[in-house]
């Protein structure tokens, strides 16, 4: 760095000294010295070179120092990342090209000869992508005990030991040199390029897990496989016709001397049509004449049967999977209909029930969230619940400043509920056991007649939070103070009093804070009796605690009685075993010494 500092004021053309300094630091310097030099280059000399000299040589010198001295990080692909998925799409293109065009070029000579320049370009571009794919395989990480392995040596050694590496090497054998021997009319010498088919399968597998329409993707995938099989079969049919002789009989391709059948497009379309009819077994084709033709047709029929069975099986299972949710939902509706018919429910109520089910299905709300998420681990289920419901819960005033742990506990206990038009969520005087948060819809605070509306509550509103706290001194107690009715279909989140109290048992400070917030809200609204609030514990609360304590004591007595019975049974078994041992010893002529046993038996007496 001294050479750099001495060089700068003198001449912007003296560039050799700085190059030597940078090289020496990179080659012989320690990592700490390299880091210090790099920081100085970045923080000081950048401004000096670019702003003081304002010359291209200054910029060049800075960037030379910057990129030479900085530490290089290894490039590793995450197999679960977007970059790796995008690369799979790129490598899929040459794989599809080779699987479709090599066989076509080998069977249709005109296709190979008329577009030879294009084929060479496509072939060698695909070869370059294949080589790059082999390099990226050595830089693709893998999971070991859930951790991504990024060590280059491990990744390289792991890839070299796999069967896929051997297949990749075979696929890169330069068989194109055989063009110099056999000529340019034999593209089948590149059949080794087909060994990369696993990349195609991997891309389809990852796409199936990523897409939101997996069933449609599976059907499209199946159709593509069938089209490739039909394409290959069409090419083989044309080749067999060429070997036997065009127009030699009614089964082979017609004589190409006829203008109608001499065009390349007609050759391929005719062969494709014949292949489709044969493999799908849905049409009539000319019967074979020669033995080789019979053998080929028999093989085609067997393949066609497998294709037909595959189509029926896969499409049937896909349709079943697509309709599984609808079938389960319909079975629930049918059960409800049978019950209402058996109990002779009124027609108006029956219509309301059916409309409610229709609303659930139309708005995709028929799924039970707990049932769907029960297969996830607790951590992931909690994260999903936080992502979906936490912002909604924070809107409630009394929960605004609660600690994160309590909010997470409460989020997991929120239950979605759907109300029909005209349904009462609560009535005045009802005991408040739940609080509600409006997710979607409108609720009206109505008079006792159910018609007069005082206030309309919309998305994000909440009510009932004070009643579930059962705050001492509340003039309303834990009873509802208003009638709340659903105007249309309304989606609410419900939090029960029992769930709240269960969560608060682990957060006593939060419980005291919530009660204090509730008192302030009641005091602000004039619904708090301060004299009662200042009194000691509520006798009802003491009675409830005594009742719970009695229940706990009863449980302990039951457990103690069970343990005592087990102890008596064990003691009896031990006595019986000692008696049997004593009899065996006496029958053998040995007099047992029972002094220790007697003292032990006395000790274990209850």
For residue 421, count other CB atoms closer than 10 A to its CB.
15
For the ranges 100-114, 463-477, 548-562, 590-604, the one whose mean pLDDT is highest: 100-114
Task: Give the least confident one: 69-73, 269-273, 506-510.
Answer: 69-73
Residue 505 is predicted with a pLDDT of: 81
pLDDT above 70 coverage of the chain, percent: 81
| pLDDT score for 535 | 61
Q: Rg for the chain (alpha carbons), in Å? A: 41
> Bigger pLDDT: 396 or 72?
396
Q: Please provide the CATH number assigned to the domain covering 376-539.
A: 2.60.120.10
Q: What is the mean pLDDT of the chain?
A: 80
Q: Give the C-alpha separation, 185 to 107, whole Å.
A: 10
| CATH number for domain 213-367, candidates 1.20.120, 1.10.10, 1.10.287, 1.10.3470 | 1.10.287
The whole model's pTM is what? Answer: 0.58
pLDDT digits (tens, 9 = 90+) for 95-149: 999 999 999 999 998 998 889 999 999 999 999 999 999 999 999 888 887 788 8
Q: Which of 9, 16, 18 has the alpha carbon at shortest distance from 37?
A: 18
Give residue 52's pLDDT band: very low, low, confident or very high (50, 70, 90): very low
pLDDT at 15: 42
In terms of average pLDDT, the best of 334-343, 395-404, 541-550 is 334-343
Which residues does 546 contact at the CB level (< 8 Å), separation at least 6? none
Torsion of CA 554, 555, 558, 559, to 10 degrees: -150
Q: What is the pLDDT of residue 416?
A: 86
- pLDDT for 593: 62
How far apart, in whole angstroms, are the C-alpha atoms of residue 439 and residue 176? Answer: 66
* pLDDT band of 1, cuts 50, 70, 90: very low
Residues 296-321 pLDDT 10s: 999 999 988 888 888 778 777 777 77
Distance CA 440, CA 455 (A): 16
> How much is the pLDDT for 24?
47
The length of the chain is: 606
Q: Which two three-digit tokens encode residue 532? A: 């009662």
Characterize the bridge pairing of strands 490-496 and 434-440.
Answer: antiparallel
- Residue 36 in contact with residue 110, Cβ under 8 Å? no
Angstrom CA distances, 319 to 71, 218, 226, 310, 313, stand at 55, 11, 19, 14, 10
pLDDT band of 195, cuts 50, 70, 90:
very high
Which residue would you say has higher pLDDT here, 601 or 254? 254
User: How far lies 306's CA from each of 77, 217, 280, 318, 596, in Å?
Assistant: 39, 21, 10, 18, 81
């Amino acid at each position: 760095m001294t050479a750099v500092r001495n060089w700068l004021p003198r001449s912007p053309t003296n560039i050799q000294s700085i190059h030597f300094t940078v090289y020496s630091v990179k080659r012989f310097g320690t990592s700490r010295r390299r880091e210090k030099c790099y920081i100085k280059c970045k923080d000081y000399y950048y401004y000096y070179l670019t702003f003081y000299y304002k010359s291209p040589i200054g910029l060049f010198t800075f960037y030379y120092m910057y990129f030479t001295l900085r530490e290089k990080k290894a490039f590793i692909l995450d197999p679960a990342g977007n970059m790796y998925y995008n690369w799979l799409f790129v490598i899929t293109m040459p794989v599809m090209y080779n699987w479709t065009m090599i066989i076509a070029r080998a069977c249709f000579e005109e296709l190979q000869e008329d577009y030879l320049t294009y084929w060479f370009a496509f072939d060698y571009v695909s070869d370059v992508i294949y080589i790059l794919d082999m390099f990226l395989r050595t830089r693709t990480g893998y999971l070991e005990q859930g951790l991504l392995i990024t060590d280059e040596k491990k990744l390289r050694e792991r890839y070299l030991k796999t069967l896929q590496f051997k297949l990749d090497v075979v696929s890169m054998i330069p068989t194109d040199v055989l063009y110099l021997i056999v000529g340019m009319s034999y593209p089948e010498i590149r059949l080794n390029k087909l060994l990369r088919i696993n990349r195609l399968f991997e891309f389809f597998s990852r796409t199936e897990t990523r897409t939101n329409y997996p069933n449609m993707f599976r059907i499209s995938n199946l159709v593509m496989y069938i089209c490739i099989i039909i394409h290959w079969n069409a090419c083989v049919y044309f080749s067999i016709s060429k070997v036997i002789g065009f127009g030699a009989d009614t089964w082979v391709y017609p004589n190409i001397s006829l203008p109608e059948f001499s065009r390349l497009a007609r050759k391929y379309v005719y062969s494709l049509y014949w292949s489709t009819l044969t493999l799908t077994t849905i049409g009539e084709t000319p019967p074979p004449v020669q033995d080789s033709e019979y053998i080929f047709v028999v093989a085609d029929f067997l393949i066609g049967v497998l294709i037909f069975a595959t189509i029926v099986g896969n499409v049937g299972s896909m349709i079943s999977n697509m309709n599984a949710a609808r079938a389960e939902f319909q079975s629930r509706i049918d059960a409800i209909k049978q019950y209402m018919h058996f109990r002779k429910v009124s027609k108006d109520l029956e219509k309301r029930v059916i409309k409610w089910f229709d609303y659930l299905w139309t708005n995709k709300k028929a799924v039970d969230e707990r049932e769907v998420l029960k297969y996830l681990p607790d951590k992931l289920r909690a994260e999903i619940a936080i992502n979906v419901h936490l912002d909604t819960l924070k809107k409630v005033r009394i929960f605004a400043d609660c600690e994160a742990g309590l909010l997470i506990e409460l989020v997991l206990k929120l239950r979605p509920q759907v109300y029909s038009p005209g349904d009462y969520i609560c009535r005045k005087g009802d005991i408040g056991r739940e609080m509600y948060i409006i997710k979607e819809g409108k609720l009206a605070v109505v008079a006792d007649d159910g018609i007069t509306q005082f206030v309309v509550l919309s998305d994000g509103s909440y009510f009932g939070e004070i009643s579930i706290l059962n705050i001492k001194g509340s003039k309303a107690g834990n009873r509802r103070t208003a009638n709340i009715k659903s105007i249309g279909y309304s989606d609410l989140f419900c939090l029960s009093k029992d769930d709240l109290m269960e969560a608060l048992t682990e957060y006593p400070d939060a419980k005291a804070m919530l009660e204090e917030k509730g008192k302030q809200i009641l005091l602000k609204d004039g619904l708090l009796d301060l004299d009662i609030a200042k009194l000691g514990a509520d006798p009802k609360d003491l009675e409830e605690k005594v009742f719970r304590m009695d229940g706990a004591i009863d449980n302990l007595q039951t457990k103690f009685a069970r343990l005592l019975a087990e102890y008596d049974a064990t003691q009896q078994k031990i006595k019986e075993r000692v008696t049997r041992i004593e009899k065996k010893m006496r029958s053998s002529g040995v007099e047992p010494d029972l002094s220790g046993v007697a003292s032990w038996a006395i000790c274990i007496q209850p």
